[in-house]
């Protein structure tokens, strides 16, 4: 009798049928995704888009013409070297090593660099430097905080699985209460989920009122409703053992909300375990490695973005002046190098550019920009399915992408490395002439 060839579930898992992989679509960089759930639908729009299959990965192209990758790299290098002002952007959907190579390219051609984090999120960096942040990772929020306060923040849209993964699981030794402070509730109101309706322009005043009550300091005359909310917040804070504040950088248009919340968090941290969780760029940036891009850029150039001219000796930091959006809107560029997947808002901006800007994209997905005839696409292996490398979660935890499909094309890192080598070789050739 012939033995059965039917494979056991364990054998299937060994072959990758239900292999655990990583989603880099948003800053949570979820590690609990499986190959089986990818095919059936994860239930997260961002994850489904991140893993969207592209069985016919496009070949490299130059000006709407199909070419070999080698030719595309040659043309891209030539146009980068002849450019008067180049912007390097994207970055947040790629790995740390890829971002390092992109920074080396920026140094080689003295390009502007902006990772495409929303401009208002950049403003929180000075707050962290001057005030100091008391932070924790997502797992500490999940396991320790018996009170989670959403301060003008609703992660439902930018980080769809945040509540599922880090709020709904009960902390060690008890239940968790949540409070949302802002225009709209985060969770349905109940005994354990409260909501205080506060306008965005009142969040700073409310934080100062709560801090004054905690420190038993007198306050100036203020809105009576705000004072009442501050008293109720203090009452909830007094009964909690560990408190986690969740805020959003993109909701802070001036930087003052996070400034005041940082002061409040520090004041509470002297009395009981308290920390802040800052969710960052959202989906408009085009990927989850915004923290990694900021760290690498800061290490290389001294600032997280909005860098007018890349230099290893240090660069200026000019937010709201040389960020990606401002440079594109002012038509100051003749070349844009997008590393990784094209961020949606960059694509939208490029449709309005009138000058004949060259758009070079190094990605696994080609973006069609009919208005831009001067376009170069360097085809790469699937970023989500065939790429290995590290990303940095927004709370500082290092997460490694795990490839689960083979590709006939090289990775983004390999293609970008070839482009850098070509730039260096041509630069040496030109200097020798």
Q: What is the predicted pLDDT for the residue at 369?
A: 58
User: Which one is predicted more confidently, 344 or 6?
Assistant: 344
Who contacts 282 (Cβ-Cβ below 8 Å, separation ≥6)? 26, 118, 157, 158, 159, 248, 250
DSSP 239: H
DSSP 315: -
Percent with pLDDT over 70 in the chain: 85
Percent with pLDDT over 90 in the chain: 50
Confidence band of 423 (pLDDT split at 50, 70, 90): very high
Helices (H), 110-239: 119-122, 124-130, 138-144, 162-166, 203-214, 224-239
Who contacts 217 (Cβ-Cβ below 8 Å, separation ≥6)? none
Number of Cβ atoms within 10 Å of the Cβ of 82:
12
As given in the structure block, the two tokens for residue 7 are 């494979």
pLDDT digit string, tens, across residues 330-347: 889 999 999 998 888 888
pLDDT digit string, tens, across residues 288-327: 898 899 889 888 988 888 899 998 777 788 877 888 888 9
- Taking the CA atoms of 403, 408, 410 and 411 in sequence, report the sign of the dihedral they define: negative
Q: Is 87 helix (H, G, I), strand (E, B) or coil?
A: strand
Domains annotated on the chain, with CATH: 12-46 (no CATH), 57-118+286-432 (3.40.50.740), 122-280 (3.40.228.10)
How far is Cα 90 from Cα 339, in angstroms, rounded to an integer? 5
CA count, 13 A, side-chain hemisphere, 69: 21
User: Which one is predicted more confidently, 120 or 150?
Assistant: 150
Residue 118 and residue 282 in contact, taking contact as beta carbons nearer than 8 Å: yes
How far is Cα 170 from Cα 159, in angstroms, rounded to an integer? 19
Residue 11 and residue 30 in contact, taking contact as beta carbons nearer than 8 Å: no
Evaluate if residue 269 carries a pLDDT over 80.
yes
Q: What is the predicted pLDDT for the residue at 6?
A: 47
List the one residue out of 424, 357, 344 whose CA is nearest residue 73. 424
Q: What is the predicted pLDDT for the residue at 137?
A: 93
Which H/E stretch holds residue 195?
strand 193-197
As given in the structure block, the two tokens for residue 209 are 């009122």
pLDDT digit string, tens, across residues 42-86: 788 889 889 886 655 578 999 888 899 999 999 999 999 999 999
Q: Is this model's pTM higher than 0.85 or not?
A: yes
Evaluate if residue 144 carries a pLDDT over 80.
yes
């Amino acid at each position: 009798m012939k033995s059965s060839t039917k494979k056991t579930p364990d054998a299937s898992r060994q072959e990758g049928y239900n292999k655990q992989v990583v989603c880099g679509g948003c800053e949570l960089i979820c590690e609990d995704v499986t190959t089986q759930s990818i095919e059936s639908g994860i239930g997260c729009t961002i994850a489904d888009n991140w893993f969207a299959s592209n069985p016919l990965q496009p070949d490299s192209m130059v000006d709407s013409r199909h070419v070999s990758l080698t030719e595309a790299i040659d043309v891209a290098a030539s146009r980068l070297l002849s450019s008067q002002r180049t912007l390097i952007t994207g970055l947040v959907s790629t790995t740390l090593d890829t971002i390092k190579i992109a920074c080396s390219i920026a140094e080689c051609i003295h390009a502007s660099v902006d990772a495409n984090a929303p401009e208002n999120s950049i403003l929180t960096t000075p707050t962290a430097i001057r005030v100091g942040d008391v932070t924790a990772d997502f797992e500490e929020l999940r396991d320790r905080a018996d009170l989670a306060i959403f301060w003008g923040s609703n992660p439902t849209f930018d980080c769809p699985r945040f509540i599922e993964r880090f709020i709904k699981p009960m902390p060690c030794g008890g239940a968790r209460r949540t409070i949302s402070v802002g225009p709209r509730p985060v969770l349905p109101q109940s005994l354990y989920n409260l909501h205080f309706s506060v306008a965005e322009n009142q969040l700073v005043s409310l934080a100062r009122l709560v801090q004054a009550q905690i420190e038993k300091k007198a306050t100036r005359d203020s809105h009576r409703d705000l004072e009442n909310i501050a008293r109720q917040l203090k009452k909830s804070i007094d009964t909690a053992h560990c408190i986690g504040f969740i805020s959003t950088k993109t909701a802070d248009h001036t930087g003052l909300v996070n400034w005041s919340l940082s002061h409040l968090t520090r004041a509470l941290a002297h009395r009981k375990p308290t920390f802040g969780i800052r969710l960052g760029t959202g989906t408009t940036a085009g990927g989850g490695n915004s923290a990694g891009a900021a760290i690498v850029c800061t290490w290389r150039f001294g600032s997280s973005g909005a860098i007018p001219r890349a230099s290893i000796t240090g660069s200026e930091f000019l937010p709201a002046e040389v960020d990606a959006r401002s440079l594109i809107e002012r038509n100051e560029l003749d070349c844009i190098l997008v590393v990784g997947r094209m961020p949606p808002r960059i694509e939208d901006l490029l449709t309005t550019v009138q000058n004949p800007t060259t758009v070079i994209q190094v990605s696994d997905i080609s973006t069609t920009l009919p208005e831009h005839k001067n376009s170069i696409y360097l085809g790469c292996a699937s970023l989500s399915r065939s790429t290995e490398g590290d990303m940095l979660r927004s709370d500082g935890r290092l997460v490694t992408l795990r490839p689960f499909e083979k590709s006939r094309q090289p990775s983004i890192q390999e293609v970008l490395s070839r482009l850098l080598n070509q730039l260096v070789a041509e630069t040496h050739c030109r200097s020798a002439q």
